[in-house]
Every structure is written in C-alpha cells, then in structure tokens.
C-alpha cells in the first residue's frame, strides 16, 4: 500500500512539472511577445462583423475596406501592419463601424511592416474613417484613393470607437505630392469616440478632419512631416487636450505645401460654402525639439481660406519663421474681428512675429485683456521640464510656478472645465500607452 501511495505521489509531481514546462516544450505561445504571433494577411472588403484578436498580427495588403453594415472590432493589444509595396490602408466606409478600444496597458498599434531600425514616415497608407455627417462639399471623395465618397446629413452619426490607439509611419504617397494622413476623418459624426490617439512619423498630416462633427480628446502628434491638426470642409467638432512635438529637421516634402502645427481652410478655394469650418480646440501644447528649423516650416497655426476655427488656453513654442498665429486673408481676419472665431488664453512664446497681421483690428482684438493672450514670455519663462521637447523621452508636465498652471479663459460649452493653459496640468495623460521610440519597438 505504501508503494502504491509513493507511486501515485511521483505521478502527481510529474504532472505538475509537465504542466509548468508546457510552453517550453512547444505549448501555447506567449502572445505578449509579438514575435510569437501568427500573421494574418487582410485584403479586399470586410462585409460582416469581424474581430481581430490580440494573439495575432494583421497585415494590410492594398486598400482594405470595412463595408456598409459591417463592424470591425479590434481587441486591446492587437498589432496591425501596413504593407509598403501595396500601400496597405484601412478604410472604414460610411455606414460601417470600427471598434478599436485599447487600454492604457494594451494600446492597439497600427504600424509599419518594415523591420526595426528601417522604418520611415510613409511606409504604408493610414487609417481612414468615413461617415455620414455634414460636409460643405458634394460629392466629397477620399484624397489619394479617389473613389470612396463620404458625408451626409447626420452630424450625430456613429462610426465607432478609437481609444488608446497608436498610428505609426503612415502617410504613403499614392501619387506625386498626394499622400494620405495617419488618421483621416471624413464626414465623421459626434456619435463616434476619438480619445487617446497618437500619430507618429506621418508622411503627411497627423490628423485631418474633412467636415463632420466628431469630437476628440487626448491626441498626440509626434514628428509629423506636414501639418499636425488640419481642418477642412466645414469641420465643427471640439478637440481638447492635444500635444504636438515636432522634429525641427523634418518637414513636408511636397513641393506644393509647407509645415504648420495647425492648418485650416473652409474649403480649398476659401469660399463661403456652408457649413463653415468652425472647429474649436482647447488645451493644446505645441513644442519643437532642439535644433535648426527646416526651411519648409511656416507658422505654428496657419488659419486661412475663410476658416473660422477657434483656439483656447493653448501654448505654442518653437519659433516658426512666419508667425505663431497667422490669420491669412481678409475673410479669415474678418471671422475673428466680428466674433465668428476666437483666440483666447493663448501663450505664443519665442516667435519673432507672434501674430500676423501685426496690425489693428486683429492685433487690438487679440490684445484685449479679456482674452488673456500673451506674446511676451520666453521659453524659459514657461518653467517647463528641461526635457519638455526631448525627441525620445519628453517630459511634458509644467513645473511649480509655471504660468501654464494659472487659470485660462472660461471655455465654451462642450469642453471639460480645465483651468490651465496647454495640454497638461499636474498629471501626464501620455504615460503608459504612447511610444516615442517606435523605430526600435519589437513588432
């Protein structure tokens, strides 16, 4: 009996040891290591409810469409790569939805398919979401792809969720001087959630809104080539908490354009097409890393072509050569002087020409004390961390006594109460999910 008990004990111990070593002997792979994940190639159209799983990597081949009526769900921690040769891109068409809801611990990553150390801006297409919200141009056709249309009559349209998402090395040129953006939002409605999204190394704009009314929060634009926040065709949403960190050596390569933090048009011809571009931005920080600016830099914010966007409680530094805030053209200037647009609670630091035009009535209105704008502070006066513009490990939080921590202006309806200037108060919302060195990430 004792021998039987001893034998059973040995068998039980053996089962435990076998179980503990199962992975080492060819069992289930550790999906937290991207190298162990199965690669699934995706092409053509998704026509029914589909889920992309954390335990796999997905390779976009050419234009991949989510068709009307279908929902693409992407699990937290999933990695999606764009094929360079076929200019892989993901296009969410009007009437379909994407539900890409990562977490702070497990962000969803759209990135290059090139090996570590060989990635570059424009390695693949980008993420495009198209909806049925109002646009001031009809028909509105997706740039680059040239086929898909967007826009409608429903400003509350719901195209899904993007939350805790990174988009890296997108912006490939489909034709000469016609690149796609890291994230393109065409006619996207306010029922859509956009929150905690980082664009890095985009070959064109980081974020571009073509009409629609979608709101967004917690956006990061890092080392973008062209513009960081671009608004067109009647976009009317609210964007709050955004940080822009630019590489001074890198700017737009297009012969027809230049690089700005903000670029905004009502439309390409500056017409009075309705609805007018009237988006509102609040709590934005725009920084440029150390070094000499590329000759293609222009203005921190270039507002033109009858745009009427507004910017509140924001800080711009970096010394763009044209201006900190450039209101280009009489129609854009009139929008501000009659109150259709507004610029208040802004700190424009380190610009040789903080504002254009540098004349009344624009200048007088900007200097009105009720607007609390400041163009006199030097970068050192802002009391930022010494690494606030470090291009590999930025530290964004203002230090004690910083003027950024003082109360800004009261924000319009639709924004969270935020009694500070710039994107950060006392907590860094970029921690845990962003990556400022995607070139060396293991994907």
Q: Tell me the whole-structure pTM to 2 decimals.
A: 0.93
Residue 225 DSSP class: S
DSSP 148-191: -EE--S-TT---EEEEEEEEES---EEETTEEPPSEEEES--TT
Cβ neighbours of residue 133 closer than 8 Å, sequence gap 6 or more: 151, 152, 154, 155, 156, 157, 187, 188, 189, 190, 211, 212, 213, 214
> For residue 259, which phi and psi values (nearest 5 degrees)?
-110, 130
pLDDT reported for residue 30:
58
Q: Are 56 and 39 in contact (CB under 8 A)?
A: yes
Q: At 128, which helix (H) or strand (E)?
A: strand 127-130
155-201 pLDDT per residue, tens = 999 999 999 999 999 999 877 667 789 999 999 999 999 999 999 99
d(CA 296, CA 250) in angstroms, rounded, equals 9
Mean pLDDT throughout 117-128? 97
Mean pLDDT of the chain: 93
Q: Are strands 97-101 and 79-82 parallel, antiparallel or unpaired?
A: unpaired
Output 175 or 306, whichever has higher pLDDT: 306
Mean pLDDT throughout 248-275? 93
Mean pLDDT throughout 277-303? 97
pLDDT reported for residue 365:
97
For residue 429, which of 170, 107, 169, 214 has the smallest C-alpha distance? 107
Least confident of 5-19, 106-120, 197-211: 5-19
| Domain boundaries defined on the chain | 33-214, 251-430
204-223 pLDDT per residue, tens = 999 999 999 999 999 999 99
Kindly tell me if the per-residue pLDDT of 8 is higher than 60. no
Question: Looking at 259-342, which runs of residues are DSSP E strands?
Answer: 262-264, 280-288, 299-303, 310-312, 315-317, 323-327
% of the chain surpassing 70 pLDDT: 92
d(CA 69, CA 304) in angstroms, rounded, equals 37
Mean pLDDT throughout 65-81? 98
Q: What angle do CA 229, 387, 199 make, to 5 degrees?
A: 30
Residue 25 DSSP class: G
For residue 259, which of 206, 195, 333, 338 has the smallest C-alpha distance? 206
pLDDT reported for residue 31:
62
pLDDT reported for residue 176:
66
Q: Which of 27-31, 68-72, 143-147 has the highest mean pLDDT?
A: 68-72
Kindly tell me if the per-residue pLDDT of 285 is higher than 50. yes
Percent of the chain as helix, strand, coil, to the nearest 5: 10, 30, 55
pLDDT reported for residue 341:
98
Assigned token pair, 19 = 């179980």
pLDDT reported for residue 22:
39
Assigned token pair, 238 = 């609210």
% of the chain surpassing 90 pLDDT: 86
Least confident of 1-5, 113-117, 300-304, 403-407: 1-5
d(CA 96, CA 309) in angstroms, rounded, equals 29
């Amino acid at each position: 009996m004792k021998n039987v008990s001893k034998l059973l004990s040995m068998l039980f111990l053996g089962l435990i040891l076998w179980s503990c070593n199962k992975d080492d002997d060819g069992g289930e792979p550790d999906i937290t290591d991207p190298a162990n994940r199965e690669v699934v190639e995706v092409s053509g159209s998704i026509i029914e409810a589909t889920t992309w799983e954390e335990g796999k990597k997905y390779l976009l081949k050419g234009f991949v469409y989510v068709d009307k009526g279908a929902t693409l769900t992407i699990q937290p921690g999933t990695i999606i790569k764009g094929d360079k040769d076929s200019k892989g891109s993901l296009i969410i068409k009007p009437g379909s939805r994407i539900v890409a809801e990562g977490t702070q611990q497990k962000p969803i990553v759209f990135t290059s398919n090139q090996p570590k150390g060989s990635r570059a801006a424009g390695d693949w297409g980008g993420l495009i979401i198209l909806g049925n919200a109002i646009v001031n141009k009809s028909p509105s056709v997706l740039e680059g792809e040239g086929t898909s249309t967007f826009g409608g009559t429903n400003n509350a349209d719901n195209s899904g969720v993007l939350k805790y998402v990174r988009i890296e090395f997108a912006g490939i040129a489909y034709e000469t001087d016609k690149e796609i953006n890291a994230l393109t939002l065409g006619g996207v409605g306010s029922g859509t959630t956009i929150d905690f999204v980082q664009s890095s190394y985009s070959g064109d704009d980081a974020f571009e809104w073509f009409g629609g009314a979608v709101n967004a929060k917690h956006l990061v634009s890092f080392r973008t080539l062209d513009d960081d926040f671009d608004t067109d065709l009647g976009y009317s949403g609210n964007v709050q908490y955004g940080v822009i960190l630019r590489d001074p050596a890198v700017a737009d390569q297009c012969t027809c354009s230049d690089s700005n933090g903000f670029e905004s048009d009502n439309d390409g011809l500056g017409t009075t097409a309705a609805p007018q571009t009237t988006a509102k931005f609040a709590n934005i920080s725009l920084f440029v890393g150390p070094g000499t600016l590329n000759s293609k830099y222009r203005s921190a914010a270039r507002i033109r072509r009858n745009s009427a966007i507004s910017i509140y409680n924001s800080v711009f530094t970096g010394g763009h050569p044209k201006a900190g805030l450039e209101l280009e053209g009489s129609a854009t200037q009139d929008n501000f002087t009659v109150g259709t647009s507004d610029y208040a609670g802004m700190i424009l630091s380190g610009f040789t020409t903080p504002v254009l035009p540098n004349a009344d009535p624009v200048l007088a209105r900007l200097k009105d004390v009720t607007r609390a704008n400041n163009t006199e502070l030097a970068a050192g006066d802002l009391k930022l961390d010494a690494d606030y513009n470090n291009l590999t490990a930025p530290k964004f939080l203002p230090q004690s006594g910083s003027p950024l921590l003082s109360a800004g202006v009261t924000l319009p309806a639709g924004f969270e109460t935020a009694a500070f200037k710039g994107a950060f108060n006392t907590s860094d919302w970029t921690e845990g999910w962003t990556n400022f060195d995607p070139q060396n990430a293991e994907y």
